[in-house]
Amino acid sequence: MNFLIRKNTKKIASLLATTLLAASLACSAGAEEAVTVNFGVLSGPTGIGAAKLLTDSDNGDTENIYEYVIASDNSEIVSGLTTGELDIACMASNTALNLYNQGVGIQVIALGTQGVLHILESGSGEEIQSISDLEGKTIYTTGQGNNPEYILRYLLESNDIDPDSDVEIVFADATEISAGLISGEIEVAMLPVPAATAAILQSDGTVRDALDVNDIWEDLGDGSSLIMTAVVARTEFIEENPDAVDTFLDEYEASIGYVNSNVEEAAELVAGLGITPSAAIAAAAIPQCNLIFISGESMEPAIADYYDVLYEADPDSVGGALPDDEYYYY
C-alpha cells in the first residue's frame, strides 16, 4: 500500500500542479473581468439609496470594483464627470441635462428619487399652511442653479407669487440653514431629506414640516412628476465597458430595493458612511426619500414632462434645450 502511494506521488503532484494552475488562471481571468468604476453620489437621498452598494463595495461583495466619492454639492459631480475622474454619478436631473447640452459626453442610464423637498417653519406658530402663505417671507434654501431653485420659483409663480419681488430667496448650505432654523434665526426654509429630517429631529419640536413640496407639485395637476435625480455615465465609459454598466444598474437597483425594504438595517449603513449624523435620522429620512429606480425605455416618459416644465419656466435651467434621443441609454 505504501509502495503504491510512493509510486504515484509524481503523478499526483503533477495533477495537483495542473489543478492549481487552472485555478490560478481562472482567478486571474476573473480579476481581469472585474472593472473599476469611479462612482459619485451626493450626500442626500442618492447616497442613501446607494448605501448598500457602497457598503458591499467596501466589503468586496460587488461584481464591479467601486472607487466612490460622497459629494456635498452637484459642482463636485460636474467636475468629476467633465475631467473624467468619475465614470458614473448620481446628480440633480436638471444639472445632468445642462451638462449634456454643454457638450459633455454623458448619457442618463437610470432615474432615481422623486420629490424630497420640504418647507420647514421655525417657532411655535403654524403660519405656513399653503404655498400662498410664503408671500412676503424670506425663504432660505439650498441648490442655487439646480432643481431646488427652479422648483421653488415655479411653485411660487404657479401660485401668483413673484419670486423676485414678493419673497426674498436666500441660498445657503444645508448645515447653515438647519442651524438657523433650530436657533430661530431662520423662520422659513426649504430643505431636502435627510437635511430636513435632521433639522426637525434635532430641534426638540421647534421646527416643523409645514409643506411637502412633492404634494404641492402634484396638486398643480399638470401631469409631471418630480424626478429629481439622474444617474449618468460618461459615454466613453459606456462604450468601453457596457457589461460593467449593466452590472452597475443591477447592483444599484438592488441597493435601492434593500434600503426601501430594510429601513432599520439600511439606516445603520447610511450612518456608517457618514451620510447622516445618526442611524435614527437615517431611519426617519428613508421613508421620505421617495427612492425609485427607472431605467431603459421607461426613463424618457417618466421625466419628459418635468423637463418640459423646467424648460418653459426657464430654458437655462436645463441648458437651453430639451433632450434628444441620444441623451438616454437603452
Task: For residue range 13-33, list pLDDT tens digits in order.
Answer: 444 444 444 444 444 444 457
pLDDT digits (tens, 9 = 90+) for 140-155: 999 898 889 999 999 9
- 3 state DSSP class of 11: helix
pLDDT higher than threshold 60 for residue 161: yes
Average pLDDT over residues 182-196: 95
Nearest to 248 by CA among 266, 234, 264, 263: 234
* Separation in Å, CA 123 to CA 30, 138, 201, 272: 59, 15, 14, 32
Burial letters 189-209, b for 16+ CB under 10 A, else e: bbbbbbbbbbbbbbbeebbbb
Question: Model confidence at 115, in pLDDT bands (50, 70, 90)?
Answer: confident
Q: What is the mean pLDDT of residues 219-240?
A: 92
If you search the block for the grid coordinates 417671507, which residue do you land on? 137
Q: How many CB atoms lie within 10 A of CB 67?
A: 14
The whole-angstrom separation of Cα 130 and Cα 215 is 11
115 or 177: which leads in pLDDT: 177
Q: How many CB atoms lie within 10 A of CB 321?
A: 13
Q: What is the mean pLDDT of residues 233-250?
A: 98
Neighbours of 166 (CB within 10 A): 15
For 193, the 3-state DSSP assignment is coil
- Does position 106 have pLDDT exceeding 50, yes or no? yes
Pairing of strands 138-141, 188-192: parallel
**How many degrees, rounded to 5, is the angle at CA 320 between CA 316 and CA 321?**
140
Tell whether the model's pLDDT for residue 188 goes beyond 70: yes
193-207, 249-263, 274-288 — most confident range = 249-263
Taking alpha carbons only, the member of 265, 329, 253 closest to residue 291 is 253
Bridge partners (DSSP) listed for residue 287: none
Q: What is the mean pLDDT of the chain?
A: 89
- pLDDT band for 220, please (50, 70, 90 cuts): confident
Q: Can you tell me which residue has the cell 438647519?
A: 178
